Amino acid sequence: MIGLLGFVAVFAGGRWLGWPARWVWLLAWGWLLVLLLAHAPFMPPELGAFVGGEFRGWFVLGVLAALVLAYRAVLGRVRRRVTPVVEAKPGAFSKVELDRYARHIMLREIGGPGQKSLKAAKVLVVGAGGLGSPALLYLAASGVGVIGVIDGDGVEGSNLQRQIIHTDARIGMPKVFSAEIAMKALNPFIEVRPYHRRLDADLAAELVAEYDLVLDGTDNFDTRYLVNRVCAAAGKPLIAAAITQWEGQISLYDPAQGGPCFECVFPVRPAPGMVPTCAEAGVAAPLPGVIGAMMAMEAVKHLTGAGQGLRGRLMIHDALYAETRVIGVKRRAGCAACGGL
């Protein structure tokens, strides 16, 4: 009985006095040693009877305690080797995220507030092809909190010459799911919303309303004009780009903030065959990467308020002759999409 009371006194007293755990355990082991010595053959039997128990029982208790402590020590060492992915509170950054976005936060034009704006932003990317691939990867790397991607196609071998978000192992997989794998592998702190279907009039308005910014990298005019009209009606900014062979163009269409919409600049659709697609005319492999990265850059600038964006300006890049020029564009009176007011 005295033996058990001794352990109670050591642990209760140590806790009450605020002793370090190491001291408490040292005292406990010291008391166990006293109990073992009290039951040793060369000690008076009265001493063993006074403290209670028997040598074998206290010895087994000591072995069990040693095993428990050894297990805790090994478990603690294993845990220290693993760097857990800490989920940050909404609007806050974990230590891992602060390290990840440090180069952004160092930029005075972005800083902590800008990075927080990226984390809170929702961006929809229409198309997970040549332009969508680099745009999606850089949006993910930049820390955009929610990224939606809509595309009805699957990955094909011919895509891999320029659509860098996909891999040979994912041929046949829907592009949106292939893109999701790559984006989450790059940045597990973001949310990816894949929509495996083509964007049509029945879905467009409802989907666009969920996002703060839309990026359009599609290669057909029906989708381009549809996305533009829906964004104009919803007052959502649109970053749209296009490429063919060696040339690409990009602009920010935002009539809600005084800029033109896509239809203001391109009111008449080209006649069939006048503007061939990449599949019809070919495209230099790095060109989608150049223009797609520009789309992501303009998105980051728009969401953080950094620098001067492309609202009211159209950038044209000629990769064959390494020339880039920017021309001014204005709203068009009577525009069928935005009214041109």
* Whole-number Å distance between alpha carbons of 154 and 132: 14
pLDDT, one tens digit per residue, over 157-177 is 999 999 999 999 999 999 999
DSSP 270: P
Amino acid letter for position 204: A
Residue in this structure with the two tokens 């602009």, named with its chain if needed: 251
DSSP state of 79: H
Integer Cα distance of 71 and 281 in angstroms = 66
Q: What is the pLDDT of residue 79?
A: 63
pLDDT at 88: 47
pTM metric for this prediction: 0.73
For residues 237 and 214, give the distance between their C-alpha atoms in angstroms, rounded to a whole number: 6
Q: What is the pLDDT of residues 227-263, one digit of tens each?
A: 999 999 999 999 999 999 999 999 999 999 999 999 9
User: Is the sign of the CA dihedral 27, 33, 36, 38 positive or negative?
Assistant: negative
Token pair listed for 303: 């969401």
Give me the residue label for tokens 């294993």.
78
* Closest to 160 measured CA to CA, from 150, 171, 174: 171
User: 3-class SS at 191?
Assistant: strand
pLDDT tens readout for residues 14-61:
666 665 666 666 666 665 666 556 666 666 666 556 656 665 665 666
Does the pLDDT value for residue 86 go beyond 50? no
Query: Which two three-digit tokens encode residue 94?
Result: 């974990």
